Each structure stands twice: as structure tokens, then as C-alpha cells.
Structure 1
């Protein structure tokens, strides 16, 4: 996006997220209500919170698989994703096994993404969480190339649970440059204010994962300009 997004445009880039381990069904209902009020693209919840029964309006449903460690077999990730789609989700954010990259095996990362892609073909949107803060630049590029080769729709920076940290402008720029507009780029993890969110968009993010969506949007206006 070449211009700063309006409040409404920014909201439509947001996966309004609740992935806390102690989340309750009542909190998920509140999340959906808030997402409708704020006009976000989707809500993103844990697989155990599915199916979403609250009235969603136009808000889509996303979930995660292999979350948050990525240390699940490809078959388990694929089965988890397929079960979630059967429960009504539109988008799946899978976590790769970054240890495979660290071991110099990007082809194994490609293969696990391929397994999930086959289990949840289009029109389900598949996002690939690469945990960018824990990777070198070369590994980020390798992860993005693996995601594209496997047929993913997005690459995503972070789970928000890794001790190395969340999204960074540098990582988003590198990811966006690597995928060259052929895939979307989702920035997630540690984005808590308007300035940070806008910096991620300027760096090339086409989707944002936010848990504090209202606080981020409160810093925007209904027209371009801040």
C-alpha cells in the first residue's frame, strides 16, 4: 500500500487475535463482537475454540496449526488444519519447524508446508509462520522460498510466543522483497500501537496480526493523514 491506510483500510488488514492458553468461549464471543464493531478482516483463535458460533457478519475465521512451537510432524499439522477447515475456518496459520532451517534442510520445510497445503487446498488461505526473529536473513529468505514453492498464500513473521521476539520492520522488508508480491506478508507479534502497525505496512505487510486492535486503530483517522 503506497499511501498510509485509513482507519477502515487498516482494520481490513487485521486478523483480530486471541491465542492465549487460558482463553474461554466467552472471551472468543467478545472477540467476535469487537471484530465486527472494528471492521477487521478476521478473528484468529485456537483450534479448540472452533467452531465459532457467535454472529460474525462479514468477519472471517482464522486459526493456527502446529502452534506455537512448530515441533509437530507434518502429518499432525496437516490433520489439525483439515479438522479446523471442517469446523468452518477460512484461513490457517501454520508454524514451521525452524529447527529444520537451522539444520540446513529448507527442503524439509517445503515438504511440511506442502503436506498442509494438500490437506487444506484453496480457497482456504494458508499462512506460514516462520518465526523471523529467531532466524538469520538467509534463513528468512529460505523459509519464504519454501513457502512459495509449497503453494502457500502468505508468509508470517511470528507466533508472538517465541522468546526471540515478534515482528520487525527489517524482517517484513526482507520477506516482502523475497516474495515480490506473489504472496502476502503478515506481520504479527509485538505490534501494540499505531506507529508500529503503520511501519509494518510501509515495509510491505499486507496483513497484521493484532490482539490489541482497538488501541492500534484509535491512533488513526477515517481519512488519509495522521
Structure 2
């Protein structure tokens, strides 16, 4: 895809409209669900404590092990299974970043596999690797571990790590590594249409965006996921 081939509805259809702030209330989530429907985004991404959310008319994504990833594989699997039981059709799990930085990709694979077993297809599993905090070799290792474990997507970032969010380089590297066999979700710092289109051109097949209305209307947000 290039900037010339993605129109407003197509771009909206690639967005997981996201509300993951710790202070979000039930009313905030209901408002976000209504906004996602009005904008035509692919889904609504929320914290698992906000489920069930029968009011949402778009698919619901729940995060798992968010945002630190410092939960046991068993806890992540249980959290993911509960979210699916409460209506989530997709799970965005955070890896244990320490395992990746130590080069222990077998353990990264094992925890992803545990979550995959808890939420088998057709539920979609995305794996958040915090690409900004990793070397290229570590990004590649995480993508390969995700594929071996049966994930459907690799995802750049939580949007909460101090190292930063998505980058064009990371998305290109992730897309090259998974070779179209998995999707690539770019998230963290995508606040304007230009950035969104650049991420798509780099290989992103899904976007995590909190300021979706501003992005789609061409008004850049100053902050957000």
C-alpha cells in the first residue's frame, strides 16, 4: 500500500481504536466504542477489566500482560482466556522483555505458546515486543519466536515504554522477518495521517491509535497511545 492507495475508510479499517489509560472509566470506554463505530475502525482495544462490552458494535481487542509483560506465562494465559470468555475476539499480549534482551527466545516462544493454547484460532493473537527497546537481532528473534508459537501478528509497542513506540525501521524489519505470514501491527506514537501511511508503506497491516478521529480528520493529536 502507498499513500495514494489508502483512502479514509480503508485507513479507518486498519485501526484498532485504543483506550488503555489506567484512569479510563466505564463511561470513557462506552464513548470510545461509539466513536470506533462512528469512525469505522477495525476494532476497539481496551483493558480486560473493561469487559464484557456488549455495547460495542465493532470487534473488541483486549490486552494481556499489559503494559510491563512481567507476568508469568500462566497468568497471561489465564488473563487472555478470561478476556475471550468475556467477548474479546483478539488478544494483544506483551512478552517478558527481559527474556528477549537476554536472548532467551525459547522462553519467549514458550510463553507465547501458552497464551496461544489458551486462546486458539479463530481468536487472533498479537505479540507486543517493544521494538524500540530491542536491537535488530532481538526484534528478529522475537518475530521468529512469535511465528513458531502460532501467533497471528507481531506488534511494535505498548505505547507505554520509555524507549518509545513504533518506528519505520522496526516495522520494515518485522515485516521482512515474518514475510507476510503474520500481520504487523504498528502502535505507539501514531498521531497523524502521514505517520500512519508511512507505517503502512513500511509493511504495517494494522495500526494501534488512540487519537483516531484526529488522525482520520487530518488533525494531529499532541499525545496518546
Shift of 1:53: 2.9
1:117 aligns with 2:131: no
Aligned residues: 218
Please give the alpha-carbon distance, in whole angstroms, between the structure 1 residues aligned to 2:61 and 2:51: 10
**Cα deviation code 1:37-76 (max 9, x no counterpart):** 000010000011000032x33x100010000000000000
1:202 aligns with 2:201: yes
Partner of 2:180: 181
Q: Could you say what secondary structure the match of 1:110 adopts?
A: helix
Please give the alpha-carbon distance, in whole angstroms, between the structure 2 residues aligned to 1:83 and 1:101: 26
Partner of 2:159: 160
Q: Could you say what secondary structure the match of 2:45 adopts?
A: strand
**Cα deviation code 1:107-133 (max 9, x no counterpart):** 100000000000000010000000000
Partner of 1:64: 63
Shift of 1:101: 1.3
Please give the alpha-carbon distance, in whole angstroms, between the structure 2 residues aligned to 1:175 and 1:7: 25
Spell out structure 1 runs of 4+ moving beyond 4 A: none
Query: Superposition pairs for residues 2-21 of structure 1, below 5 Å?
Result: 2=2, 3-21=4-22
Query: Superposition pairs for residues 27-66 of structure 1, below 5 Å?
Result: 27-54=28-55, 56-57=56-57, 59-66=58-65
Shift of 1:98: 1.2
Query: Superposition pairs for residues 72-221 of structure 1, below 5 Å?
Result: 72-219=71-218
* TM-score using structure 1 length: 0.95
Shift of 1:102: 1.3
Q: Could you say what secondary structure the match of 2:54 adopts?
A: coil
Shift of 1:155: 0.2
Shift of 1:4: 3.0
**Cα deviation code 1:75-106 (max 9, x no counterpart):** 00000000000001000000001100111201
Please give the alpha-carbon distance, in whole angstroms, between the structure 2 residues aligned to 1:29 and 1:53: 10
Q: Could you say what secondary structure the match of 1:201 adopts?
A: helix
Which sections of structure 1, spanning at least 5 residues, go unmatched? 221-226
Which sections of structure 2, spanning at least 5 residues, go unmatched? 220-225
Please give the alpha-carbon distance, in whole angstroms, between the structure 1 residues aligned to 2:103 and 2:194: 36
Q: Could you say what secondary structure the match of 2:70 adopts?
A: coil
Q: Could you say what secondary structure the match of 1:166 adopts?
A: coil
The CA RMSD over aligned residues, in Å, is 1.0
